[in-house]
Structure 1
Amino acid sequence: MLSNITNNLLRVGRIASVAALVALAGCQVKPLYAVSAPGTGTGQQLAAIEFSPAEDRIGQAVRNELIFLTAGGAGESKTPAYRLTMSVSSFRQNVLDEQVTFNLIPGRVTVIGSYTFTRISDGKVLKTAQRRATALLDVSAQEFAEMRAYRDAENRAAKQLAEFIRGDIATTLGRQ
């Protein structure tokens, strides 16, 4: 009796294994930046993006970082195939209302980027999203030190936001 149950379980296990192998045979995994036919790889597609003009300093910081990340330092594409329209905003916030040590108040800067990624040839919107990045800082009682700390935090958050957006775009292009 026990051997019949064991044989039945082994048979079911074999059938399940074969079914899983057949199901997985259709799955394909490829590296995001895999080398492919000329002009069709994700790296080449990332280098063919046109970026909308920035509205302020933080937007320009995000835009500059995106241009560097997508083109590998080569600058904007002369013949873009895609367009990224972006709107960037930021806000500052104190974490605590009281001084903690040495006249420093912990704070944070959040940079928010809303963007639309479009294929130029047919105007098809490939992705619309909103991403945010936060950088922490210590706010000093000295005016210049406070301004510099906020600017440094904004720059760090802008760089991080650009990396998030580039990842989203690369994933979108990898699925094309």
Structure 2
Amino acid sequence: MWLREKIRRCASRLPRQALIAGFGSLLLAGCLQPVYGPLSAGGSVESELQAIQIDPISDRLGHYLGNELIFNLNGTGSHVPPKYRLKVVVFESVQTPLIDTVSGRASAATVVVNAIYILTPVGGDVPITKGTATVTASYDRNSQRFANLRAARDAEIRDAKALADQIRLRLATAFAAKG
């Protein structure tokens, strides 16, 4: 009998709670703006991203990151006159968290990459946005030297792809916020 009473009380509260939750979501619906929607000043985030010229990035990791950024920002292959310049500086380190106690060699490694990026207009020096992105990729090591080199290079490539995705999302967010 007491179970029926509890079910009846909960059922009477449910419509009221659903109404409050629905009203709250309607209030918040006007606060959200899609990142890839049209900009208030006209145009779109995609067209702004396509107009970014990427400065050359040094080293092998910079080569991988530059190619990924070119593809992520303007994957169409069309030439768009640049309105913005993106300068990226990359710092890479390798950490070996696991050491084999028998051989004394590292059995795994982690490639940590930090990238500092600055987006400026082509004719100006005042940055539109800037920031730091950090990614890591782990790989297993063994006694074969060339296998370790290739695994480290694959980890660098994975880091470059993840960094390019992070930087693209942050640039798109900055354009959407600017409107």
Q: Kindly tell me: are residues 26 and 132 of structure 1, through their superposed partners in 2, closer, same or farther at Cα, counting changes over 3 Å?
A: closer
Q: 2:46 aligns with which of 43, 46, 50?
A: 43
Q: Kindly tell me: are residues 36 and 157 of structure 1, through their superposed partners in 2, closer, same or farther at Cα, counting changes over 3 Å?
A: same
**Which sections of structure 2, spanning at least 5 residues, go unmatched?**
1-19
- What TM-score does the superposition give when structure 2 sets the normalisation length? 0.75
Identical aligned pairs, as a percentage?
A: 33
Residues 49 and 83 in structure 1, CA contact (< 8 A), matched pair in contact too: yes
* Number of equivalent positions: 156
In 2, Cα distance between the equivalents of 1:43 and 1:152? 29
- What TM-score does the superposition give when structure 1 sets the normalisation length? 0.76
CA drift of 1:120 comes to 2.4
Residues 83 and 121 in structure 2, CA contact (< 8 A), matched pair in contact too: yes
1:116 alignment partner AA: I
Residue 11 (structure 2) aligns with: none
Q: Kindly tell me: are residues 142 and 46 of structure 1, through their superposed partners in 2, closer, same or farther at Cα, counting changes over 3 Å?
A: same
Q: Kindly tell me: are residues 72 and 35 of structure 1, through their superposed partners in 2, closer, same or farther at Cα, counting changes over 3 Å?
A: farther
In 2, Cα distance between the equivalents of 1:65 and 1:25? 36
Q: Kindly tell me: are residues 94 and 27 of structure 1, through their superposed partners in 2, closer, same or farther at Cα, counting changes over 3 Å?
A: same
CA drift of 1:72 comes to 2.1
Q: Given the alignment of the two structures, is residue 34 of structure 1 paired with residue 37 of structure 2, yes or no?
A: yes
Q: Given the alignment of the two structures, is residue 128 of structure 1 paired with residue 130 of structure 2, yes or no?
A: yes
Q: 1:159 aligns with which of 154, 158, 161?
A: 161
In 1, Cα distance between the equivalents of 2:38 and 2:29? 21
In 2, Cα distance between the equivalents of 1:154 and 1:99? 27
**Offset from partner CA, 1:103-128 (integer Å, 9 cap, x none):** 87121101111111112254431111
1:135 alignment partner AA: A
Residues 99 and 105 in structure 1, CA contact (< 8 A), matched pair in contact too: no
Q: 2:61 aligns with which of 58, 62, 71?
A: 58
1:149 alignment partner AA: A
In 2, Cα distance between the equivalents of 1:139 and 1:29? 46
CA drift of 1:73 comes to 4.1
1:111 alignment partner AA: V
**Which sections of structure 1, spanning at least 5 residues, go unmatched?**
1-16
In 2, Cα distance between the equivalents of 1:153 and 1:33? 30
Residues 93 and 109 in structure 1, CA contact (< 8 A), matched pair in contact too: yes
Residue 138 (structure 1) aligns with: 140
1:124 alignment partner AA: V
Residue 172 (structure 2) aligns with: 170
Residue 150 (structure 2) aligns with: 148
In 1, Cα distance between the equivalents of 2:64 and 2:97? 24
